Amino acid sequence: MAAGNDIYALKDGIIPAQRQMLVDTVIGIGLPRGTYGRLAARSYIPCKHGIAVGGGVLDTDYNGEMKVILRNDGNAC
């Protein structure tokens, strides 16, 4: 059983090598009081594609769109 859920970008894009991008998801969530959310890559994504998730903490009182910082640590797009 998975520890989390997959989310997807609103539209396709290219993150140039050694750069990062803020990606829209058009997802809003509500978290129970006393908890927080965390955005993280599954273990195989950075190894296979060189893409890392930056940041990632969602506070209980945040109520806007969930956006994700993706970083291309590879040498190619």
SS3 track for 42-74: CCHHHHHHCEEEECCEECCCCCCCEEEEEEECC
* Position 66, amino acid: M
Give me the number of domains the chain comprises. Answer: 1
Q: What is the CATH number of the domain that holds 34?
A: 2.70.40.10
Q: 50 or 23: which carries more pLDDT confidence?
A: 23
Q: What is the pTM of this model?
A: 0.76
**Average pLDDT over the chain, rounded to an integer:** 85
Q: Tell me the per-residue pLDDT of 48-69, one tens digit each, with 9 for 90 and over.
A: 778 888 878 889 988 888 889 9
* Residue 76 neighbours by CB distance under 10 Å: 7
* Percent of all residues in the chain with a pLDDT value above 70, rounded to a whole number: 92
> Which residue range is the domain that position 3 belongs to?
1-77
